[in-house]
């Protein structure tokens, strides 16, 4: 299941609720949820930890600690390692080198094995680094040094894995070219699929919120549809911007 979330940290609650539902249905499954070091300061994540621990929910909390929450370093948010955050809730934590692909795979498998065995949640902290800016308007040179970036650039996980595969005789130029081509094809197909999707109807916002019809939600849906109708009728566009002049003739 893939569930992207825009609200920082809210996906931890989504994953906890989903995993609990799956467990109550008697299915053998586990949920893996990813979030960044900035999300660890959100109340939603703390609530998810508490609930997951109380009910031994089969969920793995995976924190991608890239050192920077926009311009705030992780040391400002947490004076201890993020992996230790779970201890107060009774959740074991694992700190792993986030730039070591095999180490991350091993830690993830261990945490998922605990969840499948009914031993409850695990918190995994993968220590990595955000190489680029937070957004297109961000300038990371204002709050961190080039030397720090270069230090982490040398730890690039793709370069490290490529070197390992080469050393083990499991990769060569031809293999890497096939991998690059397959990745480019997958990215192109994903972009084409997203761009080709029809825009959803606005009222579908209210679909799949509850398993059964809910009167409050239906009332909100009706109000929203009425609002959209008023927009279509132009009731909120009854004046032209060019006529927006006060009594003194000043715009």
The helix-helix angle for 157-167 and 101-116 (nearest 10°) equals 100
Residue 124 CA, chain-centre distance (Å), reads: 14
**Which one from 116, 143, 210, 227 is the annotated catalytic residue?**
143
**Which one from 18, 85, 129, 130 is the annotated catalytic residue?**
130
**Which one from 14, 134, 166, 221 is the annotated catalytic residue?**
134
Segment (H or E) for 68: strand 68-69
Sign of the CA dihedral with 25 first, then 28, 29, and 30 last: positive
93-97 and 122-127 strand pairing: parallel
- C-alpha 129/C-alpha 100 separation (Å) is 12
Would you call 130 a catalytic residue per the annotation?
A: yes
- C-alpha 110/C-alpha 28 separation (Å) is 16
- C-alpha 215/C-alpha 225 separation (Å) is 15
Whether the Cβ atoms of residue 122 and residue 91 lie closer than 8 Å to each other: yes
- C-alpha 120/C-alpha 54 separation (Å) is 9
Whether the Cβ atoms of residue 75 and residue 142 lie closer than 8 Å to each other: no
Would you call 134 a catalytic residue per the annotation?
A: yes
Residue 78 makes CB contacts below 8 A (sequence gap 6+) with: 37, 40, 41, 85
- C-alpha 7/C-alpha 185 separation (Å) is 30
Residues annotated catalytic, as ranges: 130, 134, 143
């Amino acid at each position: 299941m893939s569930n992207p979330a825009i609200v920082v940290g809210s996906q931890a609650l989504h994953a906890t609720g989903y995993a609990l539902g799956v467990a109550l249905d008697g299915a053998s499954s586990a949920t893996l949820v990813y979030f960044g070091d900035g999300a660890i300061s959100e109340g939603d994540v703390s609530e998810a930890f508490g609930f997951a621990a109380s009910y031994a929910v089969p969920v793995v909390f995976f924190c991608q600690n890239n050192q920077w929450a926009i311009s705030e370093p992780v040391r400002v948010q947490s004076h201890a390692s993020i992996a230790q955050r779970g201890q107060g809730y009774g959740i074991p934590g694992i700190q792993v080198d986030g730039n070591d692909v095999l180490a991350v795979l091993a830690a993830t498998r261990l945490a998922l094995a605990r969840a499948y065995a009914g031993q409850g949640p695990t918190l995994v902290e993968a220590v990595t680094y955000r190489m680029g800016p937070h957004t297109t308007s961000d300038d990371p040179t204002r709050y961190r040094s080039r030397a720090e970036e270069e230090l982490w650039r040398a730890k690039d996980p793709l370069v490290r894995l490529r070197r390992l595969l080469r050393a083990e005789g499991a990769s060569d130029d031809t293999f890497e070219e096939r991998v690059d081509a397959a990745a480019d094809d997958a990215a192109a197909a994903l972009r084409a699929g997203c761009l080709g999707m029809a825009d959803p109807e606005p009222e579908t916002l209210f679909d799949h919120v509850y398993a059964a019809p809910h009167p409050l939600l239906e009332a909100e849906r009706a109000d929203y549809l009425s609002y959209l109708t008023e927009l279509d009728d132009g009731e909120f566009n009854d004046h032209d911007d060019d006529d927006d002049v006060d009594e003194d003739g000043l715009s």
